[in-house]
Amino acid sequence: MTLPIIEPRQTDFTQPPAINPALTAQWLEAFLKDELVGGRGIPRAVVGLSGGVDSAVTAYLCARALGPKNVFGIRMPYKHSSPSSLTDAHLVTEAIGINECTIEITAAADGYLQLERDADARRRGNVLARVRMLVLFDQSAKLNALPVGTGNKTERLLGYFTWHADDSPPVNPIGDLYKSQVWKLAEYLGVPKPLVKKAPSADLEADQTDEGDLGITYAKADAVLTRILEGYTNDQLVARGFDRGEVEIVRKRLDGTHWKRHLPTTAMLSNTAINEFYLRPVDF
Amino acid sequence: MNVAIVQTKPRKGKYRENLHDLREVFAQVGSEPVDLIVLPEAALTGYFLEGAVYELAMDAPAFADDIAAAWLEANPKKDVDIVCGFYENSDGTYYNSAMYLQISNREAHIKHVHRKMFLPTYGVFDEERFLSRGRHLKTFDTRFGRMAMLICEDSWHAIMPTIAAVKGARILVIPSAAPGRGIEGGDELTSIVRWRAILESIAAEHGVFLLYAGLAGFEGGKGMTGSSRIVDPRGRTIVEAPPLGAHIIRATLDLHEIDLARATLPLLGDLNAVLPDLLLDEELPLPPMLRQPRDES
């Protein structure tokens, strides 16, 4: 006699994380309402629109949560920025009817960079990011609005951002979403296709792409990160089908950037040290 | 028995303001017949307080006075029982507690205070850093029969509702504050799906009514999943609130359903018979002084 054998359905361990975009959009909309309107009493948001998918998704979520009239999309081009970044950002404001404002940062950035003419690309990129942060916070004061962050979980985990710049807005709806999930959420929300399809880029140099900088695709990085955060070792990941070189790229970036995900290290001298002994929640 | 569950969405740390809001809710609830009102864990302060818990914790009698005053201001002539979660200061020892308050003839009586026994201290949770854990799971008699209270993670340990049911509880009241997570599945957060499965399983296994009050609202990015529900003794959710926002759910319970469910599925009776053998198991990590020599004859 031969009996039928039933085994678990095989799942691909190396796939990036899944997402239910409708559920996620609903949850994040409620998050933004509670955190901005309820918690902080500020019903208006400022979003820096880069022309990329992360800021587009953030703007769409803000428009759903607060109404388009209460959302301000700020475009902040530098003299070397790709013209398509401006036009792609405009596609967002046009599609959802939020307020649009363009503030050229060349004069502000070059006011400093002309004193540091030998600054390399990394330093120049950080300066631009920090000037944009300055603009966002000042615009938020002018408009009585709150800056809303656009950093995704992948770039946060890989440390692929400028500290105290991209990560500085006090509220961020997409910071626990991997890039692959952001793309799926963007499709669900109806973000214009050119923004969803184009290669992500910090737009600091011609032909620069995130995946080129990182040495790994977002889909692979997201899959590796998901499993590392679940507790798997490099050897276990390789045994389950991942490429060792890609696992090591991700692990190195993750382990080398824990400091970027924290506030500044402060010397503790008392038993009332802030955030060590004196502990109060952000919304208290 | 008429039950109302008030799913609160408190302003963080604003106890007095939230208490004021509760008076209006009590007026609304009291406009219809109601015997028992259940509110969530940390219903009037919010859940994630960190060190501020020491500023907001109250002794049980003072909290009872506030709740009773809120009810009587809204409903001066009506009796009611109320369960509400709060942070308790008991002579400088702090607990995550739930109070069962009986208000009759304008007098408030604390029938029982349950102190949360399982304090989640992992991942996003940090309760045992700030609080002490309760040491007893007691059942107590009310005018609607014997009940027990469990708080949030208490109910995730199958032994807790099991012991409550064995000790005679016919209604389990569960104030809770459950931060949601898990977006990869179906149309609900996976944590909500898990909660529903656990609660319906408890009610069906022991033939109890289960009254679950979930806190709502976002606290520093962590969204509480509400989803307050009433589960009947056959394990069926008969009414359920959505995850987001403040709501009231209400139902009229026929307590005879408990007997009918237990007759159909007498798992609790079976457990009563077998439990002594299970507890005398020498492989269980029980203190030696609690063991009686086993009669192997």
Give the domain ranges of chain B: 2-280
Question: Does the CB of B217 have a partner CB in chain A at under 8 Å?
Answer: yes
A167 CB-near residues (< 8 Å, 6+ apart): A149, A151, A156, A161, A260
Fold classified for A21-209: Rossmann fold (3.40.50)
* Selection from B86, B124, B221 nearest residue A283 by Cα: B221
Asked if B186 reaches chain A (Cβ–Cβ under 8 Å), the answer is yes
| A36 Cα to chain B: minimum distance (Å) | 11
Q: Quick count: other Cβ atoms within 10 Å of Cβ B186?
A: 9
Interchain contact B223–A (C-beta under 8 A): yes
Residue ranges in chain A modelled with pLDDT below 50? none
pLDDT the model gives residue A205: 75
Question: Any idea which architecture B2-280 has in CATH?
Answer: 4-Layer Sandwich (3.60)
Closest CA–CA distance from residue B47 to any residue of chain A (Å): 10
Best CA proximity match to B8, nearest among B52, B41, B49: B41
B218 neighbourhood in chain A, CB within 8 Å = 30-31, 34-35, 38-39
Separation CA A83–CA A77 (nearest Å): 9
- Per-residue confidence (pLDDT) for residue A207, from 0 to 100: 80
B216 CA: distance to closest CA in chain A (Å): 11
> Which residues on A lie below 8 Å from B48 (Cβ)?
281
- List the Cα angle A18/A262/A146 in 5-degree steps: 75
B180, A27: Cβ pair inside 8 Å? yes
User: What local confidence, expressed as pLDDT, does residue B296 receive?
Assistant: 57
For A159-218, write each residue's pLDDT tens digit.
999 999 989 999 999 999 999 999 999 999 999 999 999 999 888 777 889 999 999 999
**A-chain residue closest to B49, CA distance:** A281
Residue-by-residue pLDDT tens, chain B, 297 positions: 999 999 999 999 999 999 999 999 999 999 999 999 999 999 999 999 999 999 999 999 999 999 999 999 999 999 999 999 999 999 999 999 999 999 999 999 999 999 999 999 999 999 999 999 999 999 999 999 999 999 999 999 999 999 999 999 999 999 999 999 999 988 999 999 999 999 999 999 999 999 999 999 999 999 999 999 999 999 999 999 999 999 999 999 999 999 999 999 999 999 999 998 888 888 888 877 766 666 655
Give the integer Cα–Cα distance in Å for B54 and B48.
12
Write down the pLDDT at residue B297: 54
Which member of B52, B187, B217 has the closest CB to residue A34?
B217
Question: Which DSSP letter does residue B92 get?
Answer: T
Is A247:A224 a contact under the CB 8 Å cutoff?
yes
pLDDT the model gives residue A127: 97
- Chain A residues within an 8 Å CB radius of B223: 27, 30-31, 34
Q: Which residue in B12, B186, B189 is closest to A284 by CB distance?
A: B12
What are the chain A neighbours of B46 within 8 Å (beta carbons)?
A: 283
ipTM of the complex: 0.92
Q: What are the residue ranges spanned by the domains of chain A?
A: 21-209
pLDDT value for B288? 72
Q: Which residues contact B181 (CB under 8 A, 6 or more apart)?
A: B189, B190, B191
Phi-psi region of A44 (alpha: psi -120 to 50; beta: other; left: phi over 0): beta
